[in-house]
Amino acid sequence: MSVDLTYSAPVPTLSGPGAGRRERSRSRGWIWYLLMAPAVLLIAIFFVWPVFLMAVESFLGPDLTLENYRTFFGSPIYTQVLGRTFGVAALVTVLCLALGYPYAYLMTITSGWKRTMLLGIILIPFWTSLLVRSIAWVFLLQDTGAINSLLIGTGVIQEPISMIRTMFGVSLGMTQVLLPFMVLPLFGTLLTIDSSLQKASASLGARPSVGFWRVYFPLSLPGVIAGSLLVFVLALGFYITPALLGGPQDMMLGQLIVQQISQVLNWGMGSAIAMVLLVSALGLIGLVGLLLNRHSRRADAG
């Protein structure tokens, strides 16, 4: 039976392993390109090409020019939006780090169902619609919203506090939306830190705070950097949450792009602002990637 099987089958090993592999890869090499083709063509035609055209558009006016960029960086209205976007992204990153670091740390020192529960909770917003979460914040923060109604109902305040259409509302909403992106990379890094290092520093007489700042925190830096980068870059491109929770005076870059293209119909300007946002985001990712790479190589060498 088994002899029959081996005989009837064109087993590659019969003609020698090397020969079989060579023959197979020559005859089937093109098939891999065929399998890649649909996805590669889709992304190339409908992602890379339009973004490239947009980059070209930003330099046209209609001749080749830097006019759009000169206008953008020369006008206080635009540079204010740029500064505010980076400011909000930085604030949200710091808030996420302040809330997320202790949370990720607690996840590493617990186990079993407690850790699963903490992880499950941080994943909830990951899975609920961004639009629904932003709308929920409107229900909470507006003048007739849940927080104001409760505070007035219990007599703590007489007049509603304005929280919606403010920078406070935007930062609060964005922090909640982006917190999982901080906690997950941090948790991954904190898990790899050997807890005996802290005990060692304590046994050598270091106070817990010294042990934390001199031993534990430096080791957690790759996670801190990765999480902060992710939150910061995502925050730079936010549109929905600031549009719902912020006022006209709290406009961010994403809203400015939409306004230029769909309301002012100034494609050149909108494209230029999009390129400023894109270069900031990709540039930051590249820069931090380079830093982390050097950091890990130094750690390997030392």
Partner 1 sequence: MTKTSRTVLWIFCSLVAAFVALPVLIVVPISFGETRLLQFPPQGFSLQWYENFFTSPQWLRATGNSLLIGALVALTSAVIGTLVSFAIVRGRSKGGPAVTGLMTLPLVVPNVIFGTALYGIFLQLGLTGTVLGFVIAHTVLAVPYVVVNVTSSLRRLDSRLEIASASLGATPLKTFARVTLPLILPGALAGGLFAFMISFDEVVVALFLGGAGLETLPLKMWSSVQFQIDATIAAVSTLLIAVTTLIVLLYAWLQAFLRRKATQ
**Within 74-103, which residues bind partner 1 (CB under 8 A)?**
99-100, 102-103
Choose, by CB under 8 A, the member of 13, 65, 80, 293 that binds partner 1: 13
d(CA 216, CA 214): 6
User: Does residue 111 bind partner 1 (CB under 8 A)?
Assistant: no
Q: What's the sign of the alpha-carbon dihedral 39, 40, 46, 48?
A: positive
User: Does residue 25 bind partner 1 (CB under 8 A)?
Assistant: yes
Compute CA distances 294 → 71, 114, 221, 222, whole Å. Answer: 38, 36, 13, 11
Choose, by CB under 8 A, the member of 47, 73, 213, 217 that binds partner 1: 47
User: Does residue 179 bind partner 1 (CB under 8 A)?
Assistant: yes
Based on CB atoms, which residue is closest to partner 1, 130 or 299? Answer: 130
d(CA 250, CA 261): 19
CB atoms near residue 138 (< 10 Å) = 15
User: Does residue 42 bind partner 1 (CB under 8 A)?
Assistant: yes
User: Does residue 122 bind partner 1 (CB under 8 A)?
Assistant: yes
Choose, by CB under 8 A, the member of 9, 77, 204, 265 that binds partner 1: 9
d(CA 168, CA 172): 6
Based on CB atoms, which residue is closest to partner 1, 66 or 123? Answer: 123
User: Does residue 130 bind partner 1 (CB under 8 A)?
Assistant: yes
How is 141-176 classified by DSSP, letter by letter? HSTTSHHHHHHHHTTS-SS----TTSHHHHHHHHHH
Cβ-count burial 65-86 (b if 16+ within 10 Å, e if not): eebbbeebeeeeebeebbebbb
User: Does residue 160 bind partner 1 (CB under 8 A)?
Assistant: no
Q: Name the one residue in this structure whose structure tokens are 């506090």.
A: 161
User: Does residue 59 bind partner 1 (CB under 8 A)?
Assistant: no
User: Does residue 19 bind partner 1 (CB under 8 A)?
Assistant: no
Helix 217-236 × helix 267-301 angle, to 10°: 170
User: Does residue 215 bind partner 1 (CB under 8 A)?
Assistant: no
User: Does residue 119 bind partner 1 (CB under 8 A)?
Assistant: no
Choose, by CB under 8 A, the member of 161, 240, 288, 292 that binds partner 1: 240
Region of 32-40, 67-75, 80-88, 217-225 interacting with partner 1 (CB under 8 A): 32-40
User: Does residue 8 bind partner 1 (CB under 8 A)?
Assistant: yes
User: Does residue 38 bind partner 1 (CB under 8 A)?
Assistant: yes
How is 76-127 classified by DSSP, letter by letter? HHHHHHHHHHHHHHHHHHHHHHHHHHHHHHHHHH--HHHHHHHHHHHHHHHH
Choose, by CB under 8 A, the member of 1, 132, 156, 301 that binds partner 1: 132
User: Does residue 186 bind partner 1 (CB under 8 A)?
Assistant: no
- Residue 299, classed as helix, strand or coil, is helix
Region of 65-73, 74-82, 119-127, 214-222 interacting with partner 1 (CB under 8 A): 119-127
Mask: binding to partner 1, 260-299, rule CB under 8 A, as x and -? Answer: -xx----x--xx--x--xx--xx--x--------------
> Which two tokens mark 12?
């590659």
